[in-house]
Chains A and B, each alone.
Chain A
């Protein structure tokens, strides 16, 4: 399984940008990079995904390195509600109909008021 490496935890001040890094040096050419987050006592929630180009949506931005071996999730202005565990996941497509998400340990983001 292609794996990702993330820091165990990070802290950020409220209303400041947050950059969450992820290393995925064994990524294959067809793997998408997905980010999910899990708020306390809730199920995981999709945040953003990308393949090669940087991506923006209403929740966050995703910056992907040119060699695709790393990526950074950017929260432009963190709020207390962004405190969660953030998972960087490679979506593997081994064969048709066998895609799965492999969750790592994620980064626990703490927002300081």
Chain B
């Protein structure tokens, strides 16, 4: 069974559209993250949720909105897509509350292409 899964794997869309990427983890973790990896391969955190509460919100345009219906899911909704949003988006999860060292488990990524 996949620990952290994302759908879709590929997403090609037109500028101005609204799209969502879904993420699910079956590890029982209490914290989930979204990262963006651009064309230069820089991997940067966007958001972090702990127990459905937003705890990290980096300087991301407000067109990006994370939604966490429950602890196992953290979806990423993007409004009014722009060319610069083209990237690979990774979801990750970790278990922080056990006093662990916050090892993060990543999903396979969603490659978003905005035309």
A80 at the interface (CB under 8 A from B): no
Which secondary structure dominates where chain B touches chain A? Answer: strand
Nearest-neighbour CB distance to chain B for A64, whole angstroms, equals: 14
Residues of A within 8 A of B86 (CB): none
Q: Is the Cβ of B44 less than 8 Å from the Cβ of A103?
A: yes
Interface size on B, residues (CB 8 A): 23
Contact B108 A43 (CB under 8 A): yes
| A-B CB pair tally, cutoff 8 Å | 49
Which residues of B are found within 8 Å of A102, using beta-carbon distances? 45
Query: Of A13-21, A44-52, A67-75, which stretch is located at the interface?
Result: A44-52
- Classify chain A's interface size: 20 to 34
B42 cross-chain contacts in A, Cβ below 8 A? 103, 105
A10-54 interface (Cβ within 8 A of B): 32, 34, 36, 38, 41-46, 49
